Chains A and B, each alone.
Chain A
Amino acid sequence: MTSSPDNPIGPAGPIGPAQQGGPGDQWHEVEAALQEAMGYPTRARPAKRERVVLAERRSSRRVVRTLAEVEELTGVGEVLLRQLMRTQLKIAIRLMVLTAVVLGSIPMVLLLVSSLGAAGIVVAGLAWLLSGLAVYPFLIAVAWTYNRRADHNEQEFTEMVEN
């Protein structure tokens, strides 16, 4: 991928000084895509300087520069961080709500079963089984799911930054 001289991407301000027009500026594309996704207006602006792309090698310098961007939280860094936090928070809240709903529905289930005319001993047995036994594998399953999703999110973030 090469970037054209009139690259219609977002603000060049905070990114400008760090730019030396080095090889393979794919992070520009990433930033543009991110900003579009986040709803920032992508405005056309006259390029401040000509970017000449010589090669498409990924250089470690670029990764370091992106890391620096992220650490200084300019532009793409801030955006990526907010997105990561938002994703992590969403999955956490969703799983917590799920847990609350499932736990809270145990009394409902028991009331339902007993109103359907099941023998007292069956209702009681079910109560012990659900509250004393079945909840724990459920909680463990929720935790395991969360771990997988959270690790996955972090991996995506890492790839974004190193990309």
Chain B
Amino acid sequence: MAAVAALTIFVGLYGARRTRGTPDFLTASQSVGSRWNAAAIAGEYLCAASFLGVAGLVLKEGVDALWFPIGFTAGYLALLLFVAAPLRRSGAYTLPDFAEARLGSGPLRRICTAFVVLICWLYLVPQLQGAGLTVAAVTGWPMWVGAAVVMVVVTFNIYTGWMHSITFVQAAQYWVKITALAIPVFVLLIYLTGEPAGFRNSLTTDAAPFFSTATKVTVETDVVLQVDAPMVLGITGTADGLRVNGPTYWATGEHRVDAGTELYFAASSQVPVISGAPVQNTAWLSPFTSGPFTSNQYSVLVTYSLIVALVLGTMGLPHVLGRYYTNPDGRAARTTTLLVLALLGTFYLFPTISGMLARLYVPELLVTGTTDAAVLLLPRRALEGWPGNLLCGLVAAGAFSAFLSAASGLVTSVAGVLSTDVLPGRLRDFRAATVVAWSVPLAFALSVSALDLAQSVGLAFAVAASSFCPLLMLGIWWRGLTDAGAAAGMLVGGGLAFAAVLPAATGMLSPGWQAVLSHPALFTVPLAFLIMVVVSRYTKDRIPLDVSRILLRMHAPERLGLSPDPETAPFGPATPAARIRTRGRHRR
């Protein structure tokens, strides 16, 4: 872990020394090939949710959890189809830039800035919690250590001028992440073939998972557990409302365990599974047994809402879009996105398999429900001795790479907009803005209980889908969009989404409300579109006069020379509004 952080810093410093100034930097990155760019984008995109969260969800919910990686990947497809080339040609470097270039409105730009900050913060909190989890799982140190370490490293890198946008560094991070998961998977699969057949096939039996060795589980928050068959276990603490100390008999059904209780399981005893997740392995294997398909009648809607959020939210993630500018032209932007899709698809195979392996080797996570640690704990539980530790370190390194890249992208995005749009633009202010940029999410991350990583990332997607997705789609494809319409749509749609998601992010609601409020996209996204269209119609007089020219620039191929040359006009097309020339990201 320390090795990865040190390596990243070192490579970053080395790269920073090679770069002389902003124009050089921009030119250099624009001549980078599509493959490097794609790896870099994929490397930045694969955050804690992808790295840890997917495996954790697969462990808990089985095949139904696969909608998450599908949603993440399909989101990139949506980005390719609707946004990639036109956005690149617009010359805008960030989303507020795009809004201003397209509609020429200062207030709209400020609204966009506010949403960039909100979305980045929502996205940052799970990264920090994931980092805390990683450190806690690997070394046993408390959660805040990991979060603090990530922020320190990120800040250090930004202060010393490490450009996270150096394509090479980011591309390397993709390969780090995929090998960090792939190698353990291959090793464990090979190892698995050496296990007794009964053990392997237990995944397909009708029984609950079982502990292969005697295990002690400390319950940290109150949980309700389901027991598939009567069992005996040792308890020290409070269960089912009674203080217990010693062997206890649990009948089939649900049992409540309070925080702070320790549970002792003998080898080969059954694993009680947290309530709400499929218990028997056959149920876990089968589709339609968890998440949307449990008894709650709104569950199907909730799943569709999640899918909408994931697919439409990707294009609205601020740190993703900033990377597009390093493509030389619109056509390259498309090729790059295609390659990103391929890289993502290849990557997601491995957390999936890891989740399955975790069901065999790390079932105790099902008791506490903190399944995100699955990938981290898997190697050590499966293999004893130094191979296990080595692989565990590898995975932890990959995880940290995920947090660092995502966090630095997010913090830079926030600091950039804060320092240029909220504070007067100067380098010192950028550094101050960096501190502000991470202090709020850090406070949040440490104070609220952690949700499943993949689900809390989904909250950020929901807000992005309800605010920036309509802005981009309508702005690129519809001439009739006005700044008033865009502002109204973003405020209502995005605002509602955020208002719904914020209480859900604290994790303190009852499960029913939690499910509904954390998936507002099905409702807020169409609402945002509708309001944008309706208000734009009503304010037709506010359509920018040069809208045709702007659209032409975005859609016409570069060969015709209709777009401004990116090398000489790097900061976007001419707009009536004054453009602040210095941006946090370009100042070094």
B-binding residues in A (CB < 8 A): 67, 70-71, 73, 77-78, 81, 84-85, 88-89, 92, 95-96, 99, 103, 107, 110-111, 120-121, 123-124, 127-128, 131-133, 135-137, 139-140, 142-144, 146-147, 150-151, 154-155, 157-158, 161-162
In this assembly, does B232 line the interface, its C-beta being within 8 Å of a C-beta of chain A? no
Complex Cα spacing A131 to B63, Å: 8
- Give B287's nearest chain A residue, CB to CB: A127
Q: Number of A-B pairs whose CB atoms are under 8 Å? A: 125
Taking a contact as CB atoms under 8 Å apart, the answer to whether A142 and B77 are in contact is yes
Whether B549 is near chain A, meaning CB under 8 Å from some CB there, is yes
Distance in angstroms between the alpha carbons of A103 and B176 in the assembled complex: 30
5 A-B residue pairs with Cβ-Cβ distance under 8 Å, sorted by A, are A107-B287, A120-B285, A121-B204, A135-B70, A144-B338
Contact with A along B28-53 (1 / 0, CB 8 A): 00000000000000000000000000
B80 touches A146 (CB 8 A): yes
Whole-angstrom distance between the Cβ of B208 and the nearest chain A Cβ? 16
Contacting residue for B67 out of A123, A131, A143, CB 8 A: A131
Q: Quick check: B341 and A143 within 8 Å, CB to CB?
A: yes
B342–A81 touching, CB < 8 Å: no
Interface string of B46-65 (1 = CB under 8 A from A): 00000000000000000100
In the complex, chain A residues whose CB is within 8 Å of the CB of B282: 120-121, 124
- Measured between beta carbons, the chain A residues less than 8 angstroms from B285 are 120-121, 124, 127-128
Nearest to A151 among chain B residues (CB) is B331
Q: How far is the CA of A138 from the CA of B344 in the complex (A)?
A: 13
Contact B555 A85 (CB under 8 A): yes
Q: Find chain B residues with CB under 8 A from A77 CB.
A: 552
| Nearest 3 A/B pairs, CB to CB | A136-B345, A124-B285, A131-B66
Residues of chain A within 8 A of B346, CB atoms compared? 136
C-alpha gap A154/B558 in the complex (Å): 10
Query: Is B197 at the interface (CB under 8 A from chain A)?
Result: no
Q: For the complex, would chain B's binding face be called helix, strand, loop or mixed by DSSP majority?
A: helix
| Contact in complex: B66, A78 (CB < 8 Å) | no
Tell me the smallest distance from the CB of B83 to a CB of chain A, in Å.
10
| B286 interface hit (Cβ, 8 Å) | yes
Near A by CB (< 8 A), chain B positions 503-557 give: 548-549, 551-552, 555-557
B301 part of interface (Cβ distance < 8 Å): no
Residues of chain B within 8 A of A158, CB atoms compared: 557, 559-560
Interface residues of B (CB under 8 A from A): 63, 66-67, 70, 73-74, 77-78, 80-82, 85, 204, 282, 285-288, 331, 334-335, 337-338, 341-342, 344-346, 348-349, 352, 477, 548-549, 551-552, 555-557, 559-562
Whether the pair A110, B288 counts as a contact (CB closer than 8 A) is yes
Out of A71, A124, A128, name the residue touching B552 (CB < 8 Å).
Answer: A71
Contacting B562 at CB < 8 Å: which of A67, A140, A155? A67
CA distance in complex: A131, B345 (Å): 11
Q: Is the CB of B73 within 8 A of A139?
A: yes
Q: Which residue of A lies closest to B344 (CB)?
A: A136
Besides A131-B66, A162-B560, 9 new A-B residue pairs in contact (Cβ under 8 A), listed by A number? A85-B555, A96-B78, A96-B82, A124-B204, A128-B352, A131-B287, A140-B341, A140-B345, A147-B335
A110 and B287 alpha carbons, distance in the complex (Å):
8
With a cutoff of 8 Å between Cβ atoms, the chain A residues found around residue B341 in the complex are 136, 139-140, 143
A70 and B81 contact, CB distance less than 8 A: no
Contacts A127-B287, A133-B349, A143-B338 given: A73-B548 contact, CB under 8 Å?
yes
Residue of A nearest to B284 (CB): A124
Is the Cβ of A127 less than 8 Å from the Cβ of B63?
yes
